[in-house]
Amino acid sequence: MRLSAYFLPLLKENPAEAQIVSHRLMLRAGMIRQASAGIYSWLPLGFRVLKKIEQIVREEQDASGAQEMLMPTIQSAELWRESGRYDDYGKEMLRIRDRADREMLYGPTNEELITDIFRSVVKSYRDLPKNLYHIQWKFRDEVRPRFGVMRGREFLMKDNYSFDIDQKAARHSYNKMFVAYLRTFARMGLKAIPMRADTGPIGGDLSHEFIILADTGESAVYCDKAWLEADILAEAANVDYENDLQPFVDKWTRLYAATDEKHDPAAIPADRLVTARGIEVGHIFYFGTKYSKPMNAVVAAPDGQMVPVEMGSYGIGVSRLVGAIIEASHDENGIIWPESVAPFKVGLVNLRASDKKCTAACDELYAKLRAAQLEVLYDDRDESPGAKFATMDLIGLPWQLVVGPRGLAAGKVELKHRKTGVREELTPEAALQKLAS
């Protein structure tokens, strides 16, 4: 993509409405634009990141055996009356009437709808387990939408729902998601700590929030200081889903980590305790028959008895992650994208667009990068080097390939690594090779 043709409305000044760094940088880098409070348009640069994150989430869900589908954003109020949540949900639910005066709503989550689909199709334990997910926009009319995409009203969520015949099988489904979440966040360069979370009126200990530590986080969290060093992520990458996952989950839930609601000062010696702020990027929840009972989602057990199916639900804040990753990875000059979610891998910088030789060399590199299927944003604009460097640092592409007349005369270009700041003088061929490796 040529920057001269790209829709990238950068802001020079810090927008006054943005209180945290990710919101500030997303606005300044032209990634999003507010449509109304807590509702955003995703501009091309931001949309590319959103899609990359979505794809990682998808691949790890698929790897765990979950199956993708798509449910609508608009749901019928009737189903929510069956579960009793239509009245419980309160003002966070956006309620709509259609032209026939039917009560509809913009889905804040999908337990009711998926349970309805399930009960109309699955009748026997032989068809279990099932784990279904979708990646769809949600609406929650939050009291205080803020921090950009971190607490929006309309936001993109991956949510899935597991169905099992008994508690033991449901536990295995839960454990699979526990592992899948660690792998998902690790691929985005994040250390998400699974923290014991509130299960509400159902009780039990099967709920974890996946939290990344950040000063700007909205939740107060507590964990063992060993978490700061722990290499749970490398271990998760090697887990085989076919195995019993309980030993892995036990090992990593033994190390203390709890959200505010679940914190028990007596459970951890004061000298091991870290008190911090955190951002919730995912949440897994086993809730048994909470929905299957009232909604009569029953299946035939091996003994012929009809029993309500055991369920869990699992969410990942896909759009929140864009902000969360920036909170975890930036410096005073801008964003530092992990390669896995970067909108482009390389920024190609032409230092002198008015110089024919320099431009010819850049055009050639641009063609070669594209031929090698490397995602490249080519700054071909007639701007000062300072402005170009500032733009590249702001939008945070992992690599900057800088081409100027002086270097070219010596047969060299410069390759800068955004994260480390390390610069190397290389021949164009060597630079291409390094980027392709």
Binder among 283, 345, 388, 418 for ligand ATP (CB under 6 A) = 283
Least separation in angstroms between residue 242's CB and ligand ATP is 27
Radius of gyration of the chain (CA): 24
Query: Which tokens is 39 given?
Result: 């509702």
Query: How many H-runs (helices) and E-runs (strands) does the chain carry?
Result: 13, 23
Q: Does 378 bind ligand ATP (CB under 6 A)?
A: no
C-beta closer to ligand ATP: residue 1 or 221: 221
Q: Which partner from the list Mg ion, ligand ATP, none does 310 bind, CB cut-off 5 to 8 Å by kind?
A: none
Burial level of 363, CB count in 10 A (0-12/13-18/19+)?
middle
Q: Does 30 bind ligand ATP (CB under 6 A)?
A: no
- Closest residue (Cβ) to ligand ATP? 317
Least separation in angstroms between residue 76's CB and Mg ion is 25
Beta carbons within 8 Å of 346's beta carbon, 6+ residues apart: 369, 374, 375, 376, 377, 397, 398, 399, 400, 401, 435
Q: Does 315 bind ligand ATP (CB under 6 A)?
A: yes
Sheet with 103-106, edge to edge strand ranges: 74-76, 103-106, 94-97
Query: Which tokens is 99 given?
Result: 């032209």
Single out the segment in contact with ligand ATP by CB under 6 A; choices: 150-158, 242-250, 386-394, 418-426: 150-158
- Least Cα distance to 193 among 168, 174, 219 occurs for 219
Single out the segment in contact with Mg ion by CB under 5 A; choices: 150-158, 277-285, 330-338, 412-420: 277-285
Tokens 């590249």 -> residue: 392
Q: Which partner from the list ligand ATP, Mg ion, none does 173 bind, CB cut-off 5 to 8 Å by kind?
A: none
- Least Cα distance to 353 among 331, 326, 313, 381 occurs for 381
Binder among 116, 280, 380, 393 for ligand ATP (CB under 6 A) = 280
Q: Does 262 bind Mg ion (CB under 5 A)?
A: no
> Which string of x and - marks every residue 103-132 that binds ligand ATP (by CB under 6 A)?
------x-----------------------
Least separation in angstroms between residue 81's CB and Mg ion is 24
d(CA 401, CA 411): 14
Binder among 85, 176, 263, 283 for Mg ion (CB under 5 A) = 283
Phi, psi of 99 (to 5 degrees): -70, -20
Interface contacts to Mg ion, rule CB under 5 A: 283
Interface contacts to ligand ATP, rule CB under 6 A: 109, 140, 142, 151-152, 155, 157, 280-283, 315, 317, 319-320
